[in-house]
């Protein structure tokens, strides 16, 4: 019996992962594997809230899995699976929809933001996907959920729904808490350093792909927006320089203060050149591992198959409790 606390997290297979995804999330996921019982999910059901090319979605899903493993996620330590392979996610989503208020969903800021970008495809799934996110978390009786600033509202909804269901039907779900890493890393756009780095950025120079070619990475770092002060200092008044310092620090293991001292009296040219080298060398092992993994599709298939089987056993146990409590007649077949 695994007595460790449960952590659940997931990411959409909506394209290549970025340096921001790695330093802000995946690196932490890897560190959590020895201390927690971790469920890491590729949330392909969430991905179709916006238009997807089916062929690309399948490719992106396998790419995401390969990148997870290349970053250090270990299928022997964590349950790694594809969301659509565990039907309980969609089934619990429906049950939770029945206790979710329209007003709660109307207040979701991410829906407001995404609806502006997808006016031609303003669908019901985009409106209700925070309920699916709650189902993702609650199925595994998660104690903790690593969340960024943009997901705190969704976790609060999951907490509310767990408490509401428990209050109506008796204790069924654990009420999850946010997991706040001891050392966080919020990586910003290289071109708009007041915005978070995103793979959906229209400006390709704003983000660094996790498995991007080294020459391309170096060019992007050297083009990164800084300022006219010419001083390498971690200051809110210098968001571009601050962002590069954070990237340098997280990949090199050196403190920001140590890096600042290294570049006293030097201009941005040397700083950017060295930062580019740190990023290229820091990501090289991930890219090489990823490329090797893509040559072994049978191995990747075995990971997501075994992961789904493990996840299914836990998720189905929770779903059976939910179905019994809401009044559904138990099915007699497996």
The closest of 141, 11, 138, 166 to 73, measured between CA atoms, is 11
Taking a C-beta distance cutoff of 8 angstroms, is the pair 57, 245 a contact? no
Let me know if 254 is a catalytic residue: no
Let me know if 199 is a catalytic residue: yes
Instruction: Please tell me the distance from the alpha carbon of residue 230 to that of residue 122, in angstroms, as a whole number.
Output: 46
Let me know if 233 is a catalytic residue: no
Which residue among the candidates 174, 199, 220, 272 is catalytic per the annotation? 199
Which residue among the candidates 5, 27, 77, 114 is catalytic per the annotation? 114
Which residue among the candidates 174, 196, 242, 272 is catalytic per the annotation? 196
The residues annotated as belonging to the active site are: 114, 196, 199
């Amino acid at each position: 019996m695994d007595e460790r606390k449960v952590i659940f997290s997931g990411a959409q297979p909506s394209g290549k992962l970025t340096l921001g995804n790695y330093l802000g999330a995946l690196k932490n996921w890897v560190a959590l594997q020895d201390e927690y019982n971790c469920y890491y999910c590729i949330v392909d059901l969430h991905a179709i809230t916006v238009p997807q090319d089916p062929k690309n979605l399948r490719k992106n899903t396998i790419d995401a899995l390969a990148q997870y493993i290349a970053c250090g996620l270990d299928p022997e330590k964590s349950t790694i699976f594809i969301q659509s392979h565990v039907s309980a996610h969609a089934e619990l989503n429906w049950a939770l929809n029945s206790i979710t208020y329209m007003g709660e969903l109307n207040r979701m800021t991410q829906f407001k933001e995404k609806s502006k970008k997808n006016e031609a495809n303003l669908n019901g799934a985009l409106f209700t996907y925070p309920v699916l996110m709650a189902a993702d978390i609650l199925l595994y009786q998660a104690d903790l959920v690593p969340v960024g600033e943009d997901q705190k509202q969704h976790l609060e909804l999951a907490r509310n729904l767990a408490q509401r269901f428990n209050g109506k039907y008796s204790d069924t779900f654990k009420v999850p808490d946010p997991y706040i890493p001891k050392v966080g890393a919020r990586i910003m756009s290289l071109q708009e350093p007041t915005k978070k780095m995103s793979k959906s950025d229209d400006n390709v120079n704003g983000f660094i792909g996790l498995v991007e070619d080294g020459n391309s990475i170096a060019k992007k770092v050297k083009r990164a927006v800084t300022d006219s002060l010419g001083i390498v200092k971690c200051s809110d008044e210098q968001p571009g320089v601050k962002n590069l310092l954070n990237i340098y620090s997280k990949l090199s293991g050196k403190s920001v203060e140590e890096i600042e001292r290294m570049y006293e009296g030097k201009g941005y040219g040397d700083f950017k050149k060295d930062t580019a080298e740190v990023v290229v060398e820091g990501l090289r092992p991930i890219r090489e591992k990823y490329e090797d993994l893509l040559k072994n599709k049978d191995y990747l298939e075995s990971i997501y198959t075994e992961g789904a089987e493990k996840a299914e056993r836990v998720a189905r146990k929770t779903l059976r409790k939910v179905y019994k409590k809401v009044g559904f007649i138990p099915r007699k077949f497996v």
